[in-house]
Amino acid sequence: MDTIEKTAQFIMGTYKRLDVVFEKGEGLYLFDTYGNKYLDFLAGIAVNILGYSHPVIVKSIKEQADKLIHISNLYHIKEQADLAEFLINKSVLDKAFFCNSGAEANEAAIKIARLYGKGERYKIIAMENSFHGRTMATLSATGQKKYHKGFEPMLEGFDFAKFNDFDDFKSKVDDSVCAVMLELVQGEGGINLASRQYIRDLYSYCKENDILLMIDEVQTGMCRSGKLFAYEYYGIEPDVVTLSKALGGGVPIGALLAKNKVADYFKPSTHGSTFGGNPFVSSVSLSVLEFVTEENFLAHIEDMGNYFLDGLKNIAKDKKQIESVGGIGLILGIHFKNPKDADSLVQKAFKRKILIGKAGDSSVRFEPPLIVEKHHIDEVLNFLKEVL
């Protein structure tokens, strides 16, 4: 039996997979079992920011594997403490909690917001079209009905406001609201960028009304936007930020960062995770973050992001089937008028051995490793020019 047959027989059918088995990767390229080479502009869904087999990651994995992989949070963990220090020093948050995925980071955010509300205020306003994860609480916070189907009743205490519509948000606020939770670029919802004015209005309103501003940076974080955290573009200080995906450059790790006034609500036995922030993932994460936050590297991401976006805009300007292009840094998308065009583009790209993904129903997203160079972008732009 080959891998595709074994998958069909032994693995639950939660994923619609393309029929390819990758064997190894190098830089921005993946190689399948037949030796075919693919250009990866999805990076394991915004995870592999240093691409494949990057010496920084390989070195830290090997070194830490020789020392200590897991020990549990019953003891102090040097690597976890070092990673927390790094994240806190580079952010406006005060303390970290570590877990293993984006859903877990958001689950922790939802729990801590409820503690903050002291049982009187429990409601969290999330956004239409958002995506926060697949656990029951994060699914309940996800503003897309299609993900709820079959799992109802959803958890109580969530309401949804229209993204980028401050008046709609205000109309949803009542005495039971303790927090608002949102992405600054809706990723799974279709690469929709939050406007600066909207976020600044939310920020001021939340501050005045003691509502926690919780930013889900699971997809935008770790320099994908061109800054370590996308919130930096908006001149705001969120109360809570959640991270995962690129945080480990490929090893599974998630984190909740919070201001002290919130963080202090997590006490022994309120929350926890067996694996969260173990020595292995923490040391790999720190080595990735030290690399990507170098000033020159951040400038590289910005340059590549601008070059790519300009190229996409140029291609889109005379194409009737395209509604718009958007995004920031290296989280970019093309929004089509017809969902079929998005599906068809992903398929055509795959045939040309370029990996891209869908976002929402009618958008295609590009989230290459951050080490992408102009010639990789040109290859994708040339492909797009040809097929659109």
Ligand X SMILES: Cc1ncc(COP(=O)(O)O)c(C=O)c1O
Site stretch for ligand X (CB under 6 A), options 83-91, 99-107, 223-231, 319-327? 99-107
Which one of residues 96, 193, 218, 257 is an interface residue with ligand X (CB under 6 A)? 218
Site stretch for ligand X (CB under 6 A), options 54-62, 90-98, 128-136, 284-292? 128-136
SS3 of 224-239: the string is CCCCCCHHHHHCCCCC
Site stretch for ligand X (CB under 6 A), options 13-21, 101-109, 221-229, 290-298? 101-109
Nearest CA to 107 out of 134, 88, 84 is that of 134
Closest distance to ligand X from the beta carbon of 6 (Å): 23
Give 4 or 18: the residue with its C-beta nearer to ligand X: 18
Closest distance to ligand X from the beta carbon of 321 (Å): 26
Partners of 347 in the beta sheet?
A: none
Of 188-217, binders to ligand X (CB under 6 A) are 188, 216
Structure-token match 């929004």, residue found: 335
Closest distance to ligand X from the beta carbon of 98 (Å): 13
Structure-token match 């690129």, residue found: 246
Which one of residues 131, 234, 266, 383 is an interface residue with ligand X (CB under 6 A)? 131
102 part of the interface to ligand X, by CB under 6 A: yes
Closest distance to ligand X from the beta carbon of 219 (Å): 4
Give the count of residues interacting with ligand X (CB under 6 A).
14
Q: How far apart are CA 19 and CA 187, in angstroms?
A: 24
Of 235-254, binders to ligand X (CB under 6 A) are 244
Site stretch for ligand X (CB under 6 A), options 36-44, 125-133, 285-293, 333-341? 125-133
Which one of residues 79, 183, 341, 367 is an interface residue with ligand X (CB under 6 A)? 183
219 part of the interface to ligand X, by CB under 6 A: yes
Closest distance to ligand X from the beta carbon of 62 (Å): 25
Q: How far apart are CA 114 and CA 231, in angstroms?
A: 23
Decide: 231 and 184 in contact? Cβ < 8 Å: yes
101 part of the interface to ligand X, by CB under 6 A: yes
Of 9-48, binders to ligand X (CB under 6 A) are none
Contacts 24+ apart (CB under 8 A), 159-163: 159/123, 159/124, 159/125, 159/126, 160/125, 160/126, 160/127, 160/128, 160/130, 161/125, 161/126, 161/127, 161/128, 162/127, 162/128, 163/127, 163/128, 163/129, 163/130, 163/189, 163/192, 163/194
Give 255 or 377: the residue with its C-beta nearer to ligand X: 255
Closest distance to ligand X from the beta carbon of 148 (Å): 15
Residue nearest to ligand X as judged by C-beta position: 102
* Residue at 373: amino acid letter: E
Q: What is the DSSP string of 279-342?
A: HHHHHHHHHHHHHHTSHHHHHHHHHHHHHHHHHHHHHHTT-TTEEEEEEETTEEEEEESSHHHH
Nearest CA to 239 out of 209, 212, 276 is that of 212
Q: How far apart are CA 121 and CA 176, in angstroms?
A: 4
Closest distance to ligand X from the beta carbon of 187 (Å): 4
Closest distance to ligand X from the beta carbon of 43 (Å): 12
Closest distance to ligand X from the beta carbon of 163 (Å): 13
CA 283 to chain centre: 20
Q: Burial, 284: exposed, middle or buried (Cβ in 10 Å; 0-12, 13-18, 19+)?
A: buried
* Residue at 14: amino acid letter: T
- String of contacts with ligand X for each residue 138-177, x by CB under 6 A: ----------------------------------------
Give 182 or 384: the residue with its C-beta nearer to ligand X: 182
Which one of residues 54, 132, 227, 300 is an interface residue with ligand X (CB under 6 A)? 132
Q: Which residues bind ligand X (CB under 6 A)?
A: 101-103, 106, 131-133, 183, 187-188, 216, 218-219, 244
